[in-house]
Each structure stands twice: as C-alpha cells, then as structure tokens.
A and B are shown apart, each in its own frame.
Chain A
Amino acid sequence: MVHDTVMHSIESPTWQEDHVEADGFRIRYVEAGGGAALVHLHGAGGLVLTPSHDVLARERRVIAFEMPGFGASPENTRHQKMPDLAGTMLEAVSALGVDRFDLMGTSFGGKTALWMALLAPERVLALVLESPAAIRPDGQRPPQATTAEELAAMLHAHPERVPPRPLPDPEQTARTWPMVMRLMGPARDPELEEAMRSLQLPVLVVFGTADRLIPPEMGRTYKELLPSCQLLFVYDAGHAVAADRPGAFTEAASDFLDHHEQYVVSRRSSVLFP
C-alpha cells in the first residue's frame, strides 16, 4: 500500500508529450508506463498531472489527454454537447492504436468518460469516475474562482498544504469557459441518466468527503442508476481527490481496475509475524 506521505517522493516515470490527429482536431497528450492502457480525461481546469498518475503508470500505460479547447489549443466551438466531445476522444484513442482500454475521468472529464463508455461500451473495460460532474445538485452552476487562493479552497480539503497554483490566464479562461458550460449541460441530464441504467461495465465512483464543489452525496445517484457501480468515499479529500489523497485514491483505483466489482474482497494479509 502506498501512503500519502511518501507519494511525493516517488520517482516520476518519464512522461512523453505528443499530439494526435483525430476528428479534425490536433490533440495534445502525455503518456508514461507500459501494459494495458488507462486513458485519463481531466477536469474543467485542464490537464494536471498528480502523483497518482505516476503511481498508476508503474503498472499501466497511462495516456492523459488534453481535450480540444483546453490548454493552449484553439477555442473549441464545434462540440455542442458532451457526446460530441466523447466521440472525438474515442477517435483519439483509436488513433493511438488502442482498441480496448480502462477509462478514468475527473469532474468535467467524468461526464466525458461516461459518454465515451455509453457510446462504445465494447471498448471500455472499466470506468473510474473521480468527483464526476455528470450529476449535480439542481440549480447549481459551477463556481469560478477569481483568485488562486479561492481556487485552492474550492478544490482541496486543506488548501494550506497544497503548493499554490496560479489561475489560468484570463484569455485562456475566456476561450475555455463557454465550452465547459455548454458541454457540462444541465445539473440533471435525463438523456444521460436514462442511458446510464443500461451501462453494463464496472464503474467506480469516487468522492472526497470534503468536496466543496459537488456534494459527495451525489455519489448515491450514480449507484442508483448504474447496474454495476461501486461508490467510494475518500476521507478528508476535497474535489481534487487524487491531488489531496494520492495514495488513498490510487490504491483504490488500481485495485478496482485489477479486480472490478470483486475489489470488495480484501486481499491484504493480516498476518503480522509469519
């Protein structure tokens, strides 16, 4: 088991950066590790690598995309609904020569990942949703931080413990935010929720108990809708679960990707002195 405190001292694997052409977009991605592919889709703040990525890449080929419209990519006015973006991302994965894969989505990217699984259930082996934004309290609009401190307080259980991260530059936000709002869609999306009822693949939904953006209680709706869903609360983590409790998050995510719903059976030995 990897403890949070030692996470930051783990040697980072080498992340290769490249671009892939898919569906008319030039999409940036980083990748590390080898073996079975794990595709990760970031949250509304864009692509940020956490120590969790490093640990996951020790046993898998981790591919973290920067979705069209984020980062330095041109404004994305083409995608009107989340399934549009999900379709493009499926093509991007294919363009890397990957057919079947594990999929992980964070917050905004959690909704993208859900749609990818719904559009191509035969290609996705298992789905991990970190603080997914697909189902939100009625009437809640995603808040926008105006200072770096506000951003840290929104994302982290203990903002004082996190190295300060500057706000994205206003020009980039002006380019990204309309697309985020458009694709995020309504707090409750009946079309998505109806489709979730017949999604047969194993899903792990993870919420931090100290999430200030999306109440962790939203997790139970995923559990109600999805035929094969495990709900997991990571204690004392905020919205940025993998950043706040990398060891805790990664242990559960890896275990789930290895064993799917059978991850509920403990494989830890309790033998102290063999």
Chain B
Amino acid sequence: MKAALFSIVPYQGEAERGTWPVPARTYSADVARRSMEMALEQYELADELGFDWVTLAEHHFAPLSLTPNPMVLAGAVTQRVRRAKIALLGATIPILNPVRVAEEFAMLDTLTGGRVVAGMLRGTANEYVTYDVNPAESWGRFEEAMELIIRAWTEPQPFGWQGRHFRFRSVSIWPRPVQQPHPPIYMSASSPESGEFAARHRVRIGFAFTTLPLASAAARHYRECAAACGWEPGPDDVLYRVTAHLADTDEQALEELRASGADAPRLGFSASNRPLDDAAASAGYYGRDATVQRGRIRAQGRPMAERIEQGQLLAGSPDTVLAQARRIRDELGAGILEVVFSPMAREKTLRAIELFGTRVLPRLRAL
C-alpha cells in the first residue's frame, strides 16, 4: 500500500460553525497565514518521512478549507516537497474553466518534473453556488470538462471545442504536461454513475466522506464495470481517504482525540446549509441513489467509536492503526491510503504524522 497525507488546510481560529457560506466576521489574516504555514509544514514532514503523495483539495467560502484554488497552494508546495507526488483532489471541474484547469495542472506537472496527480471532482452540492452554476448540470459539465482537459493536454495542434457547456475557438496550452500521455486522473466513485463513468474512461477512483462498507460496495461496482469494459483496475487505481490520529498507546490516542473535540457531533460541509442541499438534491445533483449518497455525507458526524468501526477514522498506536489500514486494503482493495491527521495541537499532530511515517508506513508498503 502507498500513503498520502491530505490537508484540507483548515483555518486554525474562531469561526462560525454549522452554516455555509461562512461570514468572515472573526477572520484574522494572521491566523490564516499561520494555518497555511502549518499545512505546508505537514506536507514537508510527510515528504521527509517518505509518504508517497501529499494531497490538496478545493473548497469554497468556509474556514473548513483555505484552498479555494488548490493550484495556488500547490505552486508553493512544489518548492517544498521535492520527492512525493503532489495530488489535487481535486479541481472541482464542473464549476471551473476547463482550459484553465488543463493549463494549471500542466504548470504544476512542469514545476514538479512530472509528479502531479490530477483529481477531477464534482465538489459538494453547495459549491455550485460559488460560481453560480446549476447543480442539475453538474454531471454534464463534469463529463465534458474532463474530455476537454484531456484533449487540451494531448492535442499538439491548436483546436476549437464545440461542446454542450463549453465553447472555445482555439486552444493550444503551454506548458504541456511532463507525464505522457497525461497525468493520472482520479475521480470520486461513490455513486453508481461515477463508478460506471470511471470504468468506461479508465480513470482511477478515490473515496472520501464515506464509510468502508459503502466504499467497498462502490469499488466492487467499479471493478465489475471495468471488467465489462475489458480491463482490470490495479491497487493504484483505488484510493481511500481516512482521518487518523496516532499516539504511543491506544489509550493516549483516543484521549487526545476526545480532548481535541473530535468526538463531538459535527455537521458535514453540505449539511451545514440544509435548504441549499435540498435544492441541489431536487435538481438531481445526487443521481439515481440520492438517499444513499446524502446519507453517506451526513454520516460524517457520528460518534468516534462508530467512525472507527465504519472505517472513517484510524485511531490508536501504530500497531492498531496498521491493523485498521489492513482492513481497508482487504475489504476495499485500496492501494493508496490517504490520511488526514485529525486537527489538534501542532506538536501532537506532528507526532502523529511522525509515528505514521516511521512505524506504520514501512509496514504498510509490505501489505
């Protein structure tokens, strides 16, 4: 198994909770700067410890994440992370200009000498408000944007694009991606539609904001569809994102989690604005098994013990966390374990990352 360190780059100060978009009344530029610096410090440490990837993501209008454009922070990461791949999971392509996304990925691939992983996601329902895009058109825009981005990366001659949602008369991006024919693409495959699309287009998949049983069922669907399309996904084709905290003993790890408030009930990103989420749902945003998809997202707020049981949280000593990771490998067949270290005091987080890097990662490789 490989390991990635993901930071959503949370704002490390006071802010309103349980709402979206979040007003900036309590915003401090200094806290924001320190928050970004803390994320960069984590990425750097992960690189030194031998993590295979560091991962950034795109989220808007909330202290949950200070990377509305992860490409910008990734530019800084390229100057600090010298060995690990830099994954963007993702760019929320249906709400962006696909040509711009192709250009930005190509820039990062050039800056890293070919170490970029190109995640392409639909984002959460509320994010369609961000740039005034109709969530009912999310899938159509997603499929078209991905094809256009691949074409922009691979077509050597200037070309025009006459799409349904996008129109460009002349595209010829510079720089070009280093990785040929193009950087690896990951997308979410939690819904049946997305698993089918990924299998058809030979795109890799990642799971986040889900549970191990739900992800396992979705991964099975992806593999079945891939088999029907005549190919077999390998370990690197499936990524699973999980929150983690490690300490020297199980008791200490759990105690530190409780003390940091990780056991308190939480609202997911989308669930923070229920009327908005309902509107997106009635527009068809969640697809053909909307109930499961919405339940999956709401399940993020469950108590700690349940989250460990559901494979949403790795917690304990290095040995315990290794056993929990093995379960993810066995049940899901994921070859890439993407770890978010549970937010707490800086030293404790860095200690958890170090324990993972030195005591779990070497044994994870052998799995």
B230 at interface by CB-CB < 8 Å = no
18 contacts across the A-B interface (CB closer than 8 A): A4-B164, A206-B162, A209-B151, A219-B157, A219-B159, A220-B155, A220-B157, A223-B157, A231-B159, A231-B160, A232-B159, A232-B162, A233-B161, A235-B144, A235-B166, A251-B162, A252-B162, A263-B169
Number of interface residues of A (CB under 8 A): 24
**Nearest CB on A from B327, distance (A):** 41
Q: By the criterion CB–CB under 8 Å, are B157 and A233 in contact? A: no
Contact flag A248-B169 (CB < 8 Å), given A233-B151, A235-B147: no
Q: Is B79 an interface residue (CB 8 A)?
A: no
Beyond the given A232-B162, A264-B170, please list 11 additional residue pairs across the A-B interface where CB-CB is below 8 A. Answer: A206-B162, A209-B147, A209-B151, A220-B155, A223-B159, A224-B157, A230-B169, A231-B159, A235-B144, A235-B163, A264-B160
**A18 CB–B CB distance under 8 Å:** no
Give Cα A233 to B169, complex, Å. 10
Which A-chain residue is minimally distant from B159 (CB atoms)? A231
Q: A235-B148, A236-B144, A263-B169 are in contact. Are A230 and B162 (CB under 8 A)?
A: no
Closest 4 interchain pairs by CB?
A232-B160, A235-B163, A264-B169, A220-B157
Docked-complex contact A220 and B160, CB < 8 angstroms: no
Query: Is A234 a contact partner of B159 (Cβ separation < 8 A)?
Result: no
- Cβ–Cβ < 8 Å partners of A224 in chain B: 157
Please list the residues of chain B having a beta carbon within 8 angstroms of any beta carbon in chain A. 144, 147-148, 151, 155-164, 166, 169-170
Number of A-B pairs, beta carbon distance below 8 Å: 57
Are B162 and A235 within 8 A (Cβ)?
yes
A115 within 8 A of B: no
Binding site for B on A (CB under 8 A): 4, 206, 209, 217, 219-220, 223-224, 230-236, 245, 248-249, 251-252, 263-266
Contacts of A248 in B (CB 8 A): 162-164
List, in ascending order, chain A residues with CB within 8 A of B169's CB: 230, 263-266
Beta-carbon contact of A220 and B156 below 8 Å: yes
Measured CB to CB, the nearest residue on chain A to B166 is A235
Whether the pair A231, B158 counts as a contact (CB closer than 8 A) is yes
Q: Tell me the complex Cα distance, A265–B158, Å.
A: 14
Given known A209-B147, A264-B169, contact A235–B161 (CB-CB < 8 A)? yes
Which residues from B are CB-within-8-Å of A234? 162
**A102 to B331 Cα, complex, angstroms:** 63
**Contacts of B157 on A, CB cut-off 8 Å?**
219-220, 223-224, 231
CA–CA, A227 to B251, complex, Å? 73
CB neighbours (8 Å) of B161 from chain A are: 232-233, 235
Residues in chain B near residue A206, CB distance under 8 A: 162
CA distance A265 to B156 in the complex (A): 21
Q: What residues of B have a CB within 8 angstroms of the CB of A209 in the complex?
A: 147, 151
